Amino acid sequence: MRGMVSFARRGPLAVGLVLLLTAGCGGSGGAELIGSFSMDDADGLLDAGPDVTIDADQGLDGGGSLHIFAPEGNKLVNIHEFAPGDFDGDVLSVLMHMKSEMLGGDTSFDLWIFTNDSSPRRIRRLCADVGRTKDWQKVNISFPLVEGEEPVKLRTAVHLEGRGHLWIDNLEIRALDVGEAAGRE
Contact region for Ca ion (CB under 5 A) — 17-25, 54-62, 95-103, 153-161?
54-62
CA distance 179 to 183: 6
Q: Is 41 in the site for Ca ion (CB under 5 A)?
A: no
Contact 116, 89 (CB under 8 A): no
Which residue, 28 or 38, is less far from Ca ion as judged by CB? Answer: 38
Contact 114, 155 (CB under 8 A): yes
Chain mean position to CA 134: 20
CB of residue 53 vs Ca ion: minimum separation in angstroms? 13
Contact region for Ca ion (CB under 5 A) — 1-9, 37-45, 98-106, 177-185?
37-45
CA distance 156 to 52: 14
Cβ burial of 55 (10 Å; 0-12, 13-18, 19+) is: middle
Q: Are strands 107-114 and 153-160 parallel, antiparallel or unpaired?
A: antiparallel
Which residue, 41 or 150, is less far from Ca ion as judged by CB? Answer: 41
Q: Is 61 in the site for Ca ion (CB under 5 A)?
A: yes
Cβ burial of 113 (10 Å; 0-12, 13-18, 19+) is: buried
Which residues, in sequence order, are bridge partners of residue 171? Answer: 37
Q: Is 40 in the site for Ca ion (CB under 5 A)?
A: yes
Q: Is 59 in the site for Ca ion (CB under 5 A)?
A: yes
Which one of residues 22, 51, 63, 91 is an interface residue with Ca ion (CB under 5 A)? 63
Contact region for Ca ion (CB under 5 A) — 28-36, 74-82, 101-109, 162-170?
162-170
Residues 112-151, mask of contacts with Ca ion (x by CB under 5 A):
----------------------------------------
List interacting residues with Ca ion (CB under 5 A): 38-40, 59, 61, 63, 65, 169
